[in-house]
Amino acid sequence: MFKKIVCSDIDGTLLNKDRELSPKTIAVVKSISPVPFILISSRMPRAMFHLQKELAITHLPMIAYNGALLVDQGKVLYSSEIDSKTAKRIAEFCQNTSIHTSLYHNDEWFVPAMDYWAERERNNTKVIPAVNPISKTLESWLQQQKGLHKIMCMGEENEIERLAVFLEQEFKNEIIGYRSKATYLEISPRNISKKTAIELLLRLKYPTIGLENVIAFGDNYNDVEMLQSVGVGVAVENAIAEVHAIAKNKTLSNKDDGVAIFLESYFS
């Protein structure tokens, strides 16, 4: 029986410069089977499933939305959502700016228009969003008592900064915003993280494995807590300074198959 489990972030960590899985990465992940290889990302499940297929790991769970959604072969094992009323207030703030606001629930992704930001995310994730006014989407979800797994806000750096300040002032106990880039703010429920999601995954699916037996890879702010808590936390070379500061292990960049190179050496 396997005694280790691998969890990897996707964008900036696992994917190459073309935002694809390299042949080497695919080969190495397949070679370490039956050690579970778990994708853990801020992405929606639909933007992760095609990667699971390429890696031949569709039989394994995935952790989406920075830990707000845990899915196992289409079955929801855990879900934490942003209240629709909170989402409405955030959307109203963004209405007075040029910020693009994307709304996510499980495999649903709604945008107000196919603008520059929506097209950019579509190209990155290979998922096509539904177009609907923000107010109508939120009204429908409110009636269905449906929350949001993520709100993605993209726009000019100064406007994103003002939004981040607004969120901290108004909703610091409800939500958390991750600045994956200066122009991106990914909003998640406050009570979740990649670390808490891994702990839950182990409890539900792999009860004989502890955090000390987890190997995890990451590059950005939302990976810090995860890399600090697991037994083997690995920063890719292109990771931000905050990640390098806490990661005990390093590997090459995502463009140079860093995850694959580390795993190849570790399991040899």
Average pLDDT, the chain: 96
Section 93-107 average pLDDT: 95
The values of phi and psi at residue 177, to 5°, are -110, 125
Q: How confident is the model at residue 1 (pLDDT cuts 50, 70, 90)?
A: low
* Residues 238 and 221: beta-carbon distance below 8 Å: no
In this predicted structure, the answer to whether residue 127 has a pLDDT above a threshold of 70 is yes
In this predicted structure, the answer to whether residue 173 has a pLDDT above a threshold of 90 is yes
Per-residue model confidence (pLDDT) at position 183: 94
In this predicted structure, the answer to whether residue 119 has a pLDDT above a threshold of 90 is yes
Residue 78 neighbours by CB under 8 Å, 6+ apart: 69, 70, 197, 200, 204
Q: Is 103 helix (H, G, I), strand (E, B) or coil?
A: strand
pTM: predicted TM-score of the whole model, two decimal places: 0.95
Residues 72, 117, 258: CA angle, nearest 5 degrees: 55
Sign for the pseudo-dihedral over CA of 20, 45, 107, 169:
negative
60: nearest Cα among 72, 70, 75 = 72
Domains of the chain: 5-79+192-266 (3.40.50.1000), 84-189 (3.30.1240.10)
Query: What is the strand order of the sheet 232-236 is part of?
Result: 37-39, 5-8, 214-218, 232-236, 249-251
In this predicted structure, the answer to whether residue 32 has a pLDDT above a threshold of 80 is yes
